[in-house]
Structure 1
Amino acid sequence: MASVSFIVPVFNKSSYLKTVISSLKKQKGNFMREFIFINDGSTDNSLKILKKETLGLKNSKIINQKNKGSANATNIGINLARMDYLKFLDADDILLSDATQKLVQLLEENPKYILAYGLQRKVPNIDTVDLNEKIPQSSITFLDTPIKLAMRNSMFNPSQFLVRRKICQQTDGCDERVGFSQEYSLTLRLSLLGSFIRLNYPITILPFRAPGQISENKNKQIFRVSKALELFVKDNSNLPLKFKLFAQRRLTARSWRFARNSLNSNILSKWFIYYLIGLLRLPFNILNTCIAANKVYKTKLD
């Protein structure tokens, strides 16, 4: 019988937790399960709600720690997990009741693939979602070489994917040098180890954000994924040249776009020079070019 460790990092999500935990309790499927909640120094009522809502929930544990960031909290869960598969869930997202068993089925039927994920849908209020919405027979896409897609941008958020535990633990988890947007560094690391499967139907439900928060979060996400990709190139010196050049192109283009839009830089700036280096795929000092391009963000990186 398959088994799944559900890992939920929590920081100040008291208004969502009851619904989130309810969606976990309603996960269907013939598999063993454990639930690991990591309270990452919440200053609201999250810990109190966690204790109340998990009362009587078999194989559940709550880890309470000082705030160290979502990457660290996620890694705590990865290291504690003992089941075959890891299913992550952000503490303000919910899963349709069939979500986990659909992903488990994909990986059980396709043993050479290490990760399966579904799409997401955003709603104004997660409390009103029908968790029993039937997931129809949907197309699937086999991503045999996912590294380029992973480098291009974040492929999914943590709540969308299921991964084989033993493979995930080989990666050392999320890069804690980038404390947030933890799924991106983990996705990059996993993309070196195997192939992915995409279920082309939304199985994860996310709450809408206020417009100002969306803009702010988007900017922070850009800064963090840029740093994560730079560190990935640094850590993997044996990466094939074509992937190093692709990473350089992504980072220099992103840097130039930011410099042009936020700093009013022009084509005489160094940011444009870096952009040309990336565009022309010049293979000289690739890591140094990536590092230099990322300096456009200055103190905005975590």
Structure 2
Amino acid sequence: MLVSVIVPVYNVEKYINDCIESILNQTYINFELIIINDGSTDNSEFVLKEFAVRDNRIKLLNINNSGVSYARNFGVKKATGEFICFVDSDDIVKPDYIKDLIDSADIVINGFIIEEVLNKCTKIVIPKIDCFKVDVQEAKILDNIPLLCLSSPISKLFKKSIIIENDLEFDENINIGEDYVFVLNYLNFCKSISFRKKTNYVYFRRSNSLSTSYKKVEEEILAEKLIFFNSINTFEHFGYRTSHIIPLIYKEFSKHAYRILFSIYNQSNGYSKKKRVSLINNIEKTQYERIKKMFKYNGLKGNLISLLLSKNFIYFSDFLFKAILK
């Protein structure tokens, strides 16, 4: 079976060589490598052209800078493989990455390794058990797969037919949470699933990556809503009660509560005190209460922030937030 490996690229000349080499060195050789150069302004395109000349499995596509979601969607449309997997351009994969994903299930989910570059620490994220092609309704996804495993399209195998027939796309309007929403939407159309405790994908978390940079507060608020409500809808579809789902979301995605406040108190935004307080007060009530509860899953500091998020003394809290949220 032909697998289409999709790699969006934007200004990663420092890392792209290792990424592409790791893909070309796969033990499973029946794949096409679709690289979408998303308007890079560094030397990434030059490096990619050299690779394209070397290996005829590479399809190099150049587009104007449109964002990672557009690039992935574009790559899916150009893919000719029956199955699709994704690799980020500043990550690497081990030689058995594709081989260990091969399965006839509608979706295959494997684990991955997170390398914290600045903190110099490693985290392994894996399903709790190995499970080979079972009915997705019987797979007990929430019990056996950490939500972090679902938060990205990496280390997964998708069927192109399911993506195309159901008009599934990465949301091009947001840059945070769109990966998780895509995976959840895809799961809704799956009848079978496989997941394994394999860790053939190495994800490098760097300070300037999309996942560690903060967006406009409006985008962070929208992302949190999409994550929360898509989680509820998907896992209710799999038979879970809302009372079971919500605590897991609060715990696993509590970082989005921080993201919203950081986007308000980020010094580069230069908001005045009046503007900061206004932005907090304008968060709709149900989301505001959700954010407060999320902070309670973040130890003493989180509990303090939750307490300070009382709208009765938000003007006083603003001073403390500036000190806490550096």
Are 1:147 and 1:188, in contact at CA under 8 Å, matched by a contact in 2?
A: no
Distance 1:231 1:54, change over 3 A: farther
Structure 1: how far apart are the matches of 2:21 and 2:96? 14
Q: Deviations over 1:71-102 (max 9, x none)?
A: 11000011111112111110011110011111
Question: Secondary structure, in 3 states, of the residue corresponding to 1:90?
Answer: coil
SS in 2 for 1:68: coil
Going from structure 1 to structure 2, the CA distance change for 1:244 and 1:208 (only over 3 Å counts) comes to closer
Distance 2:4 2:211 in 1: 32
Deviation larger for 220-229 or 172-181: 220-229
> Cα deviation per residue 1:14-69 (whole Å; 9 max; x = unaligned)?
1111111111110112x522111111111211111111122131132211111111
Match of 2:154 in 1: 159
Aligned residues of 2:107 and 2:156 also touching (Cα < 8 A):
no
Going from structure 1 to structure 2, the CA distance change for 1:101 and 1:223 (only over 3 Å counts) comes to farther
Q: Distance in 2 between matches of 1:242 and 1:139?
A: 19
Which of 71, 75, 78 lines up with 2:76 in the alignment? Answer: 78
Q: 1:202 — aligned with what?
A: 199
Aligned to 2:17: 18
The aligned counterpart of 1:287 is none
**Aligned counterpart, 1:185:** 181
Query: Aligned pair in 2 of structure 1 residues 160, 240: CA closer, same or farther (>3 Å)?
Result: closer
- CA displacement at 1:151 relative to structure 2: 11
Q: CA deviation at 1:159?
A: 2.8
Secondary structure, aligned partner of 1:47: helix
| Cα displacement (A) at 1:203 | 0.7
Taking structure 1 as reference, are residues 66 and 226 closer, same or farther at Cα in structure 2, changes over 3 Å only?
A: same
- Give me the whole-angstrom Cα distance separating, in 1, the residues matched to 2:226 and 2:144: 15
Question: Which residue number in structure 1 is paired with residue 62 of structure 2?
Answer: 64
Q: 1:224 to 1:40 in 2, by over 3 A?
A: farther
Distance (whole Å) between structure 2 residues aligned to residue 272 and residue 189 of structure 1:
22
Deviation track 1:194-251 (CA, whole Å, cap 9, x = no partner) reads 24332213111123524xx589717559757424336748999x96996777777747
Whole-angstrom CA distance in 1 between matches of 2:96 and 2:148: 27
Q: Percent of aligned positions with the same letter in both sequences?
A: 22
Q: Distance in 2 between matches of 1:27 and 1:242?
A: 38
- The answer to whether 1:117 aligns with 2:107 is no
Q: Equivalent residue of 1:12, what SS?
A: coil
Distance change in 2, residues 1:83/1:274 (3 Å): same
Contact (CA 8 Å) 1:256, 1:272: kept in 2 or not? Answer: no
Match of 1:132 in 2: none
Q: Deviation digits for residues 182-204 of structure 1, max 9, x if unmatched?
A: 42121011121124332213111
Matches within 5 A, 1:44-59: 44-59=42-57
Question: What is the root-mean-square deviation in Å for CA atoms of aligned residues?
Answer: 4.4
1:175 aligned to 171, 178, 192, which one? 171
Matched, 1:140 2:130: yes
Q: 1:92/1:73 Cα in 2 relative to 1: closer, same or farther (>3 Å)?
A: same
Contact 1:141 1:198 in 2 (8 A): yes
Partner of 1:99, secondary structure, is coil
Question: Would you say 1:275 and 2:290 are equivalent positions?
Answer: yes
Question: Cα distance 1:94–1:145, how it changes in 2: closer, same or farther (>3 A)?
Answer: same
Q: Is the 8 A contact 1:78 1:173 kept in 2?
A: no
**Structure 2: runs of 5 or more not aligned:** 119-127, 266-275, 295-326
May I ask how many residue pairs the two structures share in their alignment?
255
CA distance in 2, matches of 1:18, 1:277: 43
Unaligned runs of 5+ in 1: 126-137, 280-302
Task: Show the counterpart of 2:88.
Answer: 90
- Distance, in Å, in 1 between the alignment partners of 2:81 and 2:210 is 37
**Residues 141 and 273 of structure 1, relative CA distance in 2, 3 Å threshold:** same
By how many angstroms is 1:274 displaced?
Answer: 3.4
Q: Distance in 2 between matches of 1:152 and 1:230?
A: 12
Contact 1:90–1:158, Cα closer than 8 Å, also in 2: no
